[in-house]
Copies of this chain bind each other. A is one copy, B any other.
Amino acid sequence: MASSILSDCSSCATSRLLPLRRALHPPPPRFRPSPAPAPLPRRPLLAAAASLPLLPRARRMAALAAASSADSATVLADASAKIIDGKLVAKQIREEVGVEIARMKDTIGVVPGLAVILVGSRKDSQTYVRNKKKACDAVGIKSYEVNLPEDASEYEVIKHIATFNDDPSVHGILVQLPLPRHMNDENILNAVSIEKDVDGFHPVNIGRLAMQGRDPFFVPCTPKGCMELLHRSGVEIKGKRAVVIGRSNIVGTPAALLLQKANATVSIVHSKTKNPEEITRQADIIIAAVGVANLVRGSWIKPGAAIIDVGINPVDDPASPRGYRLVGDVCFEEASKVAGAITPVPGGVGPMTIAMLLSNTLDSAKRIHKFK
């Protein structure tokens, strides 16, 4: 089953949007995926990947094995890229956060609090909020939740935000997106105190992220997770060429700003870019966050590059019990033969987002209570 799942990157034309996609990539993608599989460049043995530090063989095999057990991101026999195991890294981070929360509670008696505001009854949003709550419980963060009906007013949402802004037991506030159409996202997100904006979406946080010599209060969770995966996989960033595919406010743009702050030379590829494959092929690091199934083919990739695949795209799959399966923005089957390291989908960036949210909430509580 595994290889058949992964042997059809050309089937991306069948991809369809599920609600999950809208949460990750608000602007509609306008990339045109390649109509047919491009010829794969031969990967010049392992020497080409020498610039990327590889994990010791035992850990690498364990990572490969872990990935093999994932739902669909199975590793092919001839894949040579290191698999960056997001589930494993996210688990480590959650454990580290749990230890720090226990230490803070023991030392100064403070328990970090995260408030989530959910408007409407979208099934996917309800699932996310439930998962966030479970993750909070597991590490010792106290959850606060407000559920408002679909027809709630902007004023009501902002009133709840204001209450949480003033509540000293709340250190992070998160408004679950997407909001109902009659609401202005900007007005609502701007109402969150920048000191509790654990999503990092406030323009002040983005501005501080873009500026030299300034630091944001919070870095948006998904791009922060991408950077953490690179760091913990030993991928060097300083002085490297990086390409970010996609320029959304919640992933692509902050990911590019983060790579630049880490002294990479960054190019952003987007829907108006001519020859995106030519630019992408120059990159030592690729972060793909555009929401187009299997857009990035093997021929787009410099041998040995590190690839972080943020896309979670459902594609029709009659063979699957659910009728669909999830694939990334990168054709994993082709890319894993060329890249030096790659995240699978699922099991790559996905688990990192909530881990980073927990980490941001802990950081907020530490900052507010001046706890080192």
Contact = CB atoms under 8 A, between A and B. Distances in A.
Interface of A: 27, 186, 202-214, 238-239, 241, 247-249, 253, 257, 260, 263-270, 272-274, 279
Contacts of A273: 239, 265
A249 B208 CA distance: 10
B212 A203 contact: no
A246 B124 CA distance: 43
Indicate how many identical chains form the complex.
Answer: 2
B265 A269 contact: yes
A304 to B, nearest CB: 15
> Which of A202, A241, A264, A265 has the most chain B CB atoms inside 10 A of its CB?
A265
Given A27-B212, A203-B203, A265-B274, 8 more contacts: A205-B207, A211-B249, A213-B249, A239-B272, A239-B273, A247-B260, A265-B267, A265-B268
B272 A238 contact: yes
Nearest to A247: B212
A240 B356 CA distance: 35
A275 B253 CA distance: 24
A169 B78 CA distance: 71
22 contacts: A27-B212, A27-B213, A186-B214, A202-B207, A203-B211, A205-B207, A206-B211, A207-B207, A210-B210, A211-B253, A239-B273, A241-B279, A247-B260, A260-B268, A263-B272, A265-B267, A265-B269, A265-B270, A265-B272, A265-B273, A265-B279, A266-B268
Contact of A203 (B186, B214, B241, B247): B214
A212 B19 CA distance: 21
A1 to B, nearest CB: 39
A205 B214 CA distance: 14
B210 A257 contact: yes
Contacts of A241: 274, 279
Contact of A274 (B27, B208, B212, B239): B239
A270 B203 CA distance: 24
A66 to B, nearest CB: 34
Contacts of A279: 241, 265
Contacts of A257: 210
